């Protein structure tokens, strides 16, 4: 059994940590407001951006998972969550001479700026066009350049119980399809985020980088139309293409081949599997 710290223990971290705890691992969940953690996860109140709050980390840790996310969609918040917080934690772990087996970091497919629907994998260029991708990439490099064995998992858009905004928009007739070339999106169900992290933790020598997305990069309008059919509502309206100075529009198909080749079997291989389960469970 391992001693595990989940730093930034939120939506994914809590599901992941609860699973580990149920297997008998000792799991600490670090966040500023740890009261929302599930039973089995030991709460650790700390602010990753305030180094003095990280002085009393549990000793004898085996694994650390960094799953914090930004408070707001601006550069300062992204830098705080993905760079400063990570740097502070790595510094505290080093100062405490923690003999870690590995540190994992949940990054994002937002590090890719590809915009023509091309396939991308772990070897593809990362030239983020937005501050968000840039800061997450900075965090990746910080971790991979540290003295700890480390692995980055670049996640696609996460959905699952309680994260059903797309379903709600379709149900309420608010979803629209841009009238233009196909726009690919990449997803992963929360339980596969947790499952993939659990799987990587079991590998003796995981690689330093994996993409964490399901098997099916899906055209956005296809997802919306399929959801509309499941919900028995009108299909999404077509909207005119974006104006002449659009925000950068990411459009790429992310491959999970490396994660699958490492032995991970997805519980929800495509969006239909995941959304059908949510609809059947009545959580959406
Ligand atoms: N959501 C997506 O679609 C998506 C896509 C790609 C990648 N990811 C990445 O996947 C990971 C998991 O995402 P998620 O949706 O589970 O995130 P989440 O629910 O927002 O959880 C992140 C947790 O981090 C904690 N946190 C933030 N700042 C902190 C700080 N300064 N000190 C301590 N704790 C802090 C927050 O708790 P407190 O507020 O209590 O501190 C929050 O519960 C994140 O790294 C995210 O960037 C997410």
**Residue 95 tokens, joined:** 């100062």
Q: Cα separation of 241 and 186, whole Å?
A: 21
- Closest atom, ligand 1, to C-alpha of 33: 40
Strands (E), the chain: 3-7, 26-31, 41-45, 63-66, 102-108, 118-120, 150-155, 157-159, 176-178, 184-185, 187-189, 209-212, 218-219, 237-239, 252-254
Q: Under 8 Å CB-to-CB from 195, ≥6 apart: which residues? A: 264, 266, 267
What topology does CATH give the domain 3-281?
A: Rossmann fold (3.40.50)
The pTM (predicted TM-score) of the whole model is: 0.96
Whether 280 contacts 202, CB under 8 Å: no
- Mean pLDDT over 228-252 rounds to 82
Closest-lying ligand 1 atom to the alpha carbon of residue 9? 23
**What is the pLDDT confidence band of residue 282, given thresholds at 50, 70 and 90?**
confident
* Residues in contact with 216: Cβ distance below 8 Å, sequence separation at least 6, in sequence order: 269, 270, 271
Could you give phi then psi for residue 30, rounded to 5 degrees?
A: -100, 125
Question: Which has more confidence, 10 or 283?
Answer: 10
Cα of 175 vs centre of ligand 1, distance in Å, is 26
CA of 42 to the centre of ligand 1 (A): 18
DSSP state of 8: S
Q: Which atom of ligand 1 is nearest to the CA of 32?
A: 41
Write down the mean pLDDT value for the chain: 95
Q: What pLDDT is attached to residue 240?
A: 79
- φ and ψ of 68, to 5 deg: -70, 155
Q: What residue spans define the domains of the chain?
A: 3-281
Return the HEC string of 50-96. Answer: CHHHHCCCCCCCCEEEECCCCCCCCHHHHHHHHHHHHHHHHHHHHHC
31 lines ligand 1 (CB under 6 A): yes
Query: Residue 210's pLDDT is what?
Result: 98
Q: What does the pLDDT read at residue 249?
A: 81
Q: Best substitution site from 68, 110, 140 to test ligand 1's pocket, by max atoms within 8 Å of Cβ? A: 68
Ligand 1 pocket, 211 CB below 6 A?
A: no
- Using the predicted structure, report yes or no on whether residue 9 has a pLDDT greater than 70: yes
Give the span between the Cα atoms of 184 and 264, in whole angstroms: 23
Rounded CA separation 213/198 (Å): 15
Residue 67 Cβ < 6 Å to ligand 1: yes
Residue 246 has pLDDT above 70, yes or no: no
- Could you tell me if 166 and 227 are in contact, meaning their C-beta atoms sit under 8 angstroms apart? yes
Ligand 1 proximity of 183 Cβ (cutoff 6 Å): no
Substitution candidate for ligand 1 out of 48, 69, 187, 194 with most atoms within 8 A of CB? 69
Instruction: State the pLDDT at residue 15.
Output: 97
Q: Is there an atom of ligand 1 within 6 Å of 85 CB?
A: yes
| Cβ density class 214-243: b for 16+ within 10 Å, e for less | bebbbbbbbbbbbbbebbeeebbeeeeeee
**211 bridge partner residues:** 154
Q: How far is the CA of 98 from the centre of ligand 1 (A)?
A: 24
Q: How confident is the model at residue 36 (pLDDT cuts 50, 70, 90)?
A: confident
Is residue 234 scored above 70 in pLDDT?
yes
Is 32 touching ligand 1 by the criterion CB < 6 Å?
Answer: yes
The two beta strands, 184-185 and 218-219, are antiparallel
Of 5, 6, 7, 8, the one to substitute when testing ligand 1's pocket (max ligand atoms within 8 A of C-beta) is 8
């Amino acid at each position: 059994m391992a001693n595990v710290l989940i730093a930034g223990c939120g939506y994914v971290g809590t599901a992941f940590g609860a699973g580990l705890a149920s297997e008998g691992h000792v799991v600490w969940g670090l966040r500023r407001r740890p009261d929302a953690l599930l039973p089995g996860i030991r709460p650790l109140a700390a602010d990753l951006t305030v180094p003095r709050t990280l002085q009393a980390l549990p000793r004898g840790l085996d694994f650390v998972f960094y799953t914090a996310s930004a408070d707001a969609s601006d550069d300062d918040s992204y830098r705080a969550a993905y760079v400063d917080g990570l740097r502070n934690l790595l510094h505290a772990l080093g100062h405490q001479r923690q003999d870690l087996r590995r540190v994992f970091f949940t990054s994002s497919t937002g590090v890719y700026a590809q915009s023509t629907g091309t396939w991308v994998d772990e070897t593809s260029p990362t030239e983020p066009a937005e501050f968000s991708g840039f800061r997450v990439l900075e965090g990746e490099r910080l971790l991979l350049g540290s003295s700890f064995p480390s692995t980055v998992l670049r996640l696609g858009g996460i959905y699952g119980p309680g994260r059903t905004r797309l379903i709600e928009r379709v149900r309420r007739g608010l979803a629209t399809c841009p009238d233009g070339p196909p726009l690919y999106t990449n997803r992963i169900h929360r339980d596969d985020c947790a499952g993939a992290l659990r799987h990587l933790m079991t590998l003796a020598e995981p690689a330093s980088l994996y993409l964490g997305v399901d098997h099916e990069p899906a055209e956005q309008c296809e997802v919306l139309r399929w959801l509309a059919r499941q919900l028995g509502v009108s299909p999404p309206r077509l909207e005119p293409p974006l104006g002449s100075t659009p925000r950068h529009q990411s459009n790429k198909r992310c491959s999970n081949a490396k994660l699958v080749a490492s032995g991970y079997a997805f519980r929800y291989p495509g969006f239909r599997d995941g959304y059908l389960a949510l609809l059947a469970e009545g959580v959406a």
